[in-house]
Amino acid sequence: MVTKFTYQITFLNAARYNAPPRFLIIRKLYDHIKRLTCLNNERICQGCDLSSKCVFHLLSGADFRYYPAILIRRDLIEKSAFAPKDTIPLTFFLIGNDHFKGYINGFFEQLNSLMGFPLRCVKLETLTLESREKQKTKCRIMTPLVSSSLSEQADYYRTAYETNLPIGQHSALEQARAVYDKRRYTIDHKTIACSGVIGTIAFDSIDSRYLDLGIGKSNFIGGGQLIEIED
């Protein structure tokens, strides 16, 4: 199961951030989940004997070593300064773990500021994405793909989150171009690399939900976003 959550943020005052607000919000969401669920008094994940029972460890993809279950949709370039009454949409996804929806809903119900700037958050929609197999599909990678094994990614979603998101054989990237993101993306003291490649890629088969989720190691903060190229 993949659940899509759509919200709208309204900035009540002029606001300027040192990082894209969508990233700041997903970082704050993971901090919220860890604060509620961490079983370790020292709040240190590395070497924790309780990780097998920990909700944060599960949803964060083993403390961001693999493929987290909560993702946000982001653009390659996003503004960080806003005027009063400016709005932005937020699109989140939850892979599997249907009984953990409450963590996301609860977080947004109480979200009224970001880095000290007041805002208003309105929930627009929650829906379950249907699985459809797409064959002989060519896609453009719109945000940097941090290389990883796509079969490993599908295997992780199946074993960790009990969600089948199959992905078949794929071509080498065409018109590949390296993209360097110099910004530091840090969540729970972990720095996530977002520099990667963009280009086009062809799949012999792919679950349609990857067109929402993206592919690669950094898809949970907007990397590896796909747009299908129509014939």
Fold of 2-128: Elongation Factor Tu (Ef-tu); domain 3 (2.40.30)
**Mean pLDDT of the region 3-9:** 96
DSSP string, 116-179: TEEEEEEEEEEEEEPP-EEEEEEEEEEEEE----HHHHHHHHHHHH-----B--BPPPEEEEEE
Reported confidence tier of residue 163, pLDDT bands at 50, 70, 90: very high
Identify the pLDDT of residue 40: 76
Identify the pLDDT of residue 147: 77
Topology agreement, domain 2-128 and domain 133-228: no
- Percent of the chain whose pLDDT exceeds 70: 100
**Mean pLDDT of the region 144-148:** 84
Q: Looking at 27-31, 36-40, 114-118, 197-201, which range is the least confident one? A: 36-40
Query: For the chain, what are the domain ranges?
Result: 2-128, 133-228
pTM for this one?
0.92
Residue 148 has pLDDT above 80, yes or no: no
Identify the pLDDT of residue 114: 96
What's the DSSP call for residue 221? Answer: G
Reported confidence tier of residue 48, pLDDT bands at 50, 70, 90: confident
Fold of 133-228: Alpha-Beta Plaits (3.30.70)
Q: Looking at 38-47, 49-58, 200-209, which range is the least confident one? A: 38-47
Q: How far apart are CA 152 and CA 66, in angstroms?
A: 9
Identify the pLDDT of residue 182: 81
Identify the pLDDT of residue 46: 76
Write out the H or E segment, with its range, that includes residue 77. none
Q: How far apart are CA 92 and CA 17, in angstroms?
A: 20
- Percent of the chain whose pLDDT exceeds 90: 72
Q: How far apart are CA 216 and CA 8, in angstroms?
A: 27
Q: How far apart are CA 45 and CA 169, in angstroms?
A: 35
